Amino acid sequence: MAFNYHFSAVRGLQAGREYYIAMIPLGLLSKLFSSEEEYLLPEHRAQRSINELRIPEIRDYIVNNPDTYVFSALSASIDGDFSFVKSDLDENLGILQVDMSAIFLINDGQHRKAAIEAALKEKPDLANETIAIVLFKDDGLKRSQQMFADLNKHAVKPSKSLSTLYDDRDDLSNAVKDVISNNPFLNKYIDKEHDSLGKYSSKLFTLSNFLRANQRIIKHQPINEEDRIFLHKFWGCIFTKIDEWKQLEQKQLCKCNLKEDYVLTLSIVINAFGRLGCYIYAEQIDLTKLNGLANIDWTRCNKEWLGRVFNEQGKIIGKEESVIKICNLIKMKLGLSLSKEELVKENEYR
């Protein structure tokens, strides 16, 4: 007498092969899917080995957002006997009957599955919630390996800018987006979708880099109202005290000249402003000190940027120590004192 799993399923067709979509209770995942042995060589596995470091982050996402978490479907193959019993209403709707001795092998989604199992230990009531699984007939190791390669080859991770724009869970990201939306200059010139700007982009900065600059200022979560107010005021000063920004808005300076002739749009300079903001906020320095930004020579030909922004060959250095050295110069121009770490960098520079 055969014993079967019975899944309500939808039947489809891809590349001449039937596949099935079923809803599986989260509590059943560990019973259906056995993990491949970690000691097997990669060429003998149909999946990559589990990266244990990824599990806590995904687990916490589920546990901390029980009312709003969302997961895409898992993909799996069935190695064993199964049959599809169509319904009277539609030949592609029915019951998928799978022999209990069959083996289910995950082709895509093993980290989600492992994180769900970890989350269930903390919140057992999630067991009755479901996840969609796309099920294929197993056609051997080579086919499973190819499925894994195909499913992952064309997956494109969204840009950090777009992820920040769409993510409402992060306190600082929300504060940064609020700063942008309330600052006409930033709202006009920040690219909210891409992490790098093309040569002919109409934007000057990316959301991802602007977020990194703000992460230098506010290093704790959650942030409070005082933090939010400071970010608004600080960036408001940065983009009103520097004459080149005004000239751009008044069409006295074009974007291409601003990008080519000045350092103001470089990511390391924006991050240096973030470092400056951290110091001003921590030391509770009056923002009127930023008035001195108008007196700094921001042109690329200013020799003071050599060794800070550019190397001897004229290439952008782009390292963390460059952010420190740029911030050092700005602080000295504003009459602000340097920390011990900053003095060390200045001595190295000289």
Q: What is the dihedral of CA 39, 42, 47, 51, to 10 degrees?
A: 60
- pLDDT surpasses 60 at 37: no
Compute the distance between CA of residue 89 and CA of residue 55 in angstroms, rounded to an integer. Answer: 41
- Tell me the chain's radius of gyration from C-alpha atoms: 28
Identity of the residue numbered 277: G
Both structure tokens of 193? 């979708």
Residue 229 has pLDDT above 60, yes or no: yes
Lowest mean per-residue pLDDT among 35-39, 89-93, 186-190, 254-258: 35-39
Residue type, 201: S
Mean pLDDT of the chain, nearest integer:
88
Question: On the CB side of 145, how many CA atoms lie within 13 Å of its CA?
Answer: 9
More confident site: 86 or 49: 86
What is the pLDDT, as a whole number, of residue 138? 83
| Residue with tokens 């599986």, as numbered in its chain | 24
pLDDT at residue 38, rounded to an integer: 45
pLDDT, position 145: 66
pLDDT at residue 47, rounded to an integer: 55
Using the predicted structure, report yes or no on whether residue 149 has a pLDDT greater than 80: no
Question: Tell me, what amino acid is at 315?
Answer: K
- Decide: 147 and 75 in contact? Cβ < 8 Å: yes
Beta bridge partners of 299: 262
Q: What average pLDDT does range 280-302 have in this prediction?
A: 95
DSSP of 45-86, one letter per residue? -SSPPP-GGGHHHHHHHHHH-TTT---PPEEEEEES-EEEEE
Which pTM value belongs to this model?
A: 0.74
Binned at pLDDT 50, 70 and 90, residue 167 comes out as: confident
Q: How confident is the model at residue 235 (pLDDT cuts 50, 70, 90)?
A: very high
Q: How far apart are the first and last CA of the chain?
A: 85
